[in-house]
A and B are shown apart, each in its own frame.
Chain A
Amino acid sequence: MKFKLIYPKWEKLEGQTIFNLPPHGPVVMAAALPADVDIEFVDENVDILTFDDDADFIGISMMLTGQIKRGWQIATEYRKREKKVIFGGISTMLHAEETMEYADSIFLGEVEGRLDKVFEDFKNNKLQKVYNYLASHPDINSIGPARRSILNKEKYYHKGVRMVDLFHASRGCKYNCYPCAVAYLGGKCFRPRPIDRVVEELATIDNNRLFIVDNSLAQDKQWELDLFREMIPFKKNWCSHPIEDDDEVLDLAAQAGAWFVYQAVFDTSDYIRDRVKRYHDHGIAVEGTILLGTDDHTEDDIKRLIDFLLEINLDLAEFTVLTPFPHTKAYDDLLRQNRIIDKDWNNFNAGKVVIQPKHMTPERLQELYHYAWDTFYKDETQSEKMFKLFRTVIMKEIANGTYKPIREEMANNSFGKQVRR
């Protein structure tokens, strides 16, 4: 049986450097497919999608809210051709009721151990409208290596440089952060994968550079220490979300290849200043993730925050505007206050203002969002800062003997398309 799994494209943020990373959800899903299913994977961000094909069953995997309307369009096209369509992935879970209107079936929850039933039902023409596993997570021991062989690896190069591979060492999150839906999606309990299973997966990845996509690694110190200790021999370099603010952990993380972390910067406190400094002291770069437009932000606060980012020598900064994704406290709060002013999910990309801010107009917040990008990158462009970060990883790889030169034959190619170098 031929299963075609599609990852819909989405509109990229205006003015931002486009990096198409190999997606993670589809490769995790593919690893859980029954053995007799042949899979064809199409990432619409890098591949061309055609509808007239011989697939028996269509899957649409969606991570971002910005993908869902395109996912619905794709499903509509296939259903016109009398193909059955099943949806899954993070944003299917966040937008489940709406997505059902466009689906023969939706899958909610984590896939391990559950897809045999789905495909058996499909074969017997008994596909259920909903496969709901939101309340029961699979045994964390059952999560094996993702099936990255479904990816067209050649498409994830930019001018000869291979993009990082995505990888996860845990699920769930014990934190309940204001703009984040992970606690709803993966549960409010941190579920670390056993270290031996993580190691097993690491051994299957031929990429020297990884993005550990876990929500926060800083949730269980002993597990973190064990994880980093076991990662050292692999000589990978990686980026991740926050690491425990502890010298022993940071030291081991650096030895294990911590390249840079995404660290939320929400105020101008000494706590943030010291946190960034401690990463730097251990040779770990920091990309600040800065959310603009919370109810604590006046115009002056935002300007002061940007000055602060320059003072603390962040290596990179990524600015977003507060976006109320469903199943977050931000969504609940703004819904109750009737302050969600735009319901077009395509605009929920964290770069367009879709709320009424408390202290300014939506238009002013939009201007400040652009001001933030422009001001932070005024003296050194985003490309220049990225190049510096890239150079640090090359130096690390040269030092540990894992450096692979860029592919010269792909120097004029970016994600499968011809470009000028």
Chain B
Amino acid sequence: MIKHFNKDLNSDYFNEIYDFKGQWDVPSRCALKIVRNNTQTVVIATELYAENPGTSVTNFCAPLATLICNDFNIDHEKMVFIVHTPDTKSKLSFMNENFFHVEFTWDGAKFMDPKWAQIDRSKVDELIGITQKQ
């Protein structure tokens, strides 16, 4: 299904493809991993670049987080939202893998005003319970 990334996308950080209507209702797509525990629900939304026909995760961050909350019955107060930009195997450094934790404000019905903070992969692994490989 994810033709371009089927060999390259790190399966630690996605377990399904999520189709959504992006900006101006354009059909759009990201990869998704949702990890729930008692205190929080970690959502990792991965940019699919060429495999996404529409709006990017970053460009649609707050509406997308709201959609995911509603579609997966996630308590908005417990959601930890991570944007994952995967490694595209380019020699250009700005195409490397990165993770960003996103903070939003909640207006009573939807998320607004995304603010991104880059985090290390080890922090993501800790959040989703992946044991560091030696």
Residue A341 lies at the interface, judged by CB distance under 8 Å to chain B: no
* CB-contact partner of B25 in A132, A266, A337, under 8 A: A132
Whether B26 contacts A176 by the Cβ 8 Å rule is no
Whether B49 contacts A336 by the Cβ 8 Å rule is no
Q: Which residues of A contact B58 (CB under 8 A)?
A: 332, 335-336
Given A296-B92, A296-B94, A338-B116, are A187 and B53 neighbors across the interface (CB < 8 Å)? Answer: yes
Residues of B whose CB lies within 8 Å of any CB of A are: 24-27, 47, 49-50, 52-56, 58-59, 83, 85, 92-95, 100, 116, 118
Whether A96 contacts B93 by the Cβ 8 Å rule is no
Q: Which residues of B contact A296 (CB under 8 A)?
A: 92-94
Given A135-B27, A332-B59, are A176 and B118 neighbors across the interface (CB < 8 Å)? Answer: no
User: Can you list the 5 inter-chain pairs with the closest CB atoms, starting with the nearest?
Assistant: A332-B58, A336-B116, A295-B94, A176-B50, A135-B26
In whole angstroms, how far apart are the Cα atoms of A96 and B25 in the complex? 13
Among residues 105 to 162 in chain A, which have CB atoms less than 8 Å away from a CB atom of chain B?
Answer: 108, 130, 132, 134-135
Given A332-B58, A337-B118, are A174 and B50 neighbors across the interface (CB < 8 Å)? Answer: yes
Closest Cβ neighbor of B83 among chain A residues: A336
Which of B52, B59, B83, B94: most chain A CB closer than 10 A? Answer: B94
Q: Which residues of B contact A132 (CB under 8 A)?
A: 24-25
* 12 CB < 8 A contacts A-B: A134-B26, A135-B25, A174-B50, A178-B95, A294-B92, A295-B93, A296-B93, A296-B94, A327-B55, A332-B47, A332-B59, A337-B118
* CB-contact partner of B85 in A108, A135, A331, A333, under 8 A: A333
Residue A188 lies at the interface, judged by CB distance under 8 Å to chain B: yes
In whole angstroms, how far apart are the Cα atoms of A326 and B24 in the complex? 14
Q: Which residues of A contact B26 (CB under 8 A)?
A: 134-135
Q: Nearest chain A CB to B108's CB is how many angstroms away?
A: 22
Q: Which residues of B contact A331 (CB under 8 A)?
A: 59
Residue A83 lies at the interface, judged by CB distance under 8 Å to chain B: no
In whole angstroms, how far apart are the Cα atoms of A326 and B85 in the complex? 17
In whole angstroms, how far apart are the Cα atoms of A8 and B99 in the complex? 40
Residue A79 lies at the interface, judged by CB distance under 8 Å to chain B: no
In whole angstroms, how far apart are the Cα atoms of A326 and B95 in the complex? 18
Whether B59 contacts A327 by the Cβ 8 Å rule is yes
Given A134-B26, A135-B27, are A333 and B94 neighbors across the interface (CB < 8 Å)? Answer: yes
Q: Which residues of B contact A327 (CB under 8 A)?
A: 55-56, 59
Q: Which residues of B contact A174 (CB under 8 A)?
A: 50
Given A187-B53, A336-B83, are A178 and B24 neighbors across the interface (CB < 8 Å)? Answer: no
In whole angstroms, how far apart are the Cα atoms of A266 and B93 in the complex? 13
Q: Nearest chain B CB to A134's CB is how many angstroms away?
A: 5
* CB-contact partner of A336 in B25, B53, B100, under 8 A: B100
Q: Nearest chain B CB to A178's CB is how many angstroms away?
A: 7
* CB-contact partner of A188 in B47, B53, B85, B118, under 8 A: B53
Q: Nearest chain B CB to A264's CB is how many angstroms away?
A: 12
In whole angstroms, how far apart are the Cα atoms of A335 and B93 in the complex? 17
Whether A108 contacts B93 by the Cβ 8 Å rule is no
Among residues 161 to 176 in chain A, which have CB atoms less than 8 Å away from a CB atom of chain B?
Answer: 174, 176
Residue A329 lies at the interface, judged by CB distance under 8 Å to chain B: yes
Residue-by-residue, is A317-338 near B (CB-CB < 8 Å gives 1, otherwise 0)?
Answer: 0000000001101011101111
In whole angstroms, how far apart are the Cα atoms of A201 and B58 in the complex? 40
Q: Which residues of B contact A333 (CB under 8 A)?
A: 85, 94
In whole angstroms, how far apart are the Cα atoms of A179 and B53 in the complex? 17
Whether B49 contacts A176 by the Cβ 8 Å rule is yes
Whether A108 contacts B24 by the Cβ 8 Å rule is yes
Q: Which residues of B contact A337 (CB under 8 A)?
A: 116, 118
Closest Cβ neighbor of A96 among chain B residues: B24
Q: Which residues of A contact B47 (CB under 8 A)?
A: 332
Whether B56 contacts A332 by the Cβ 8 Å rule is yes
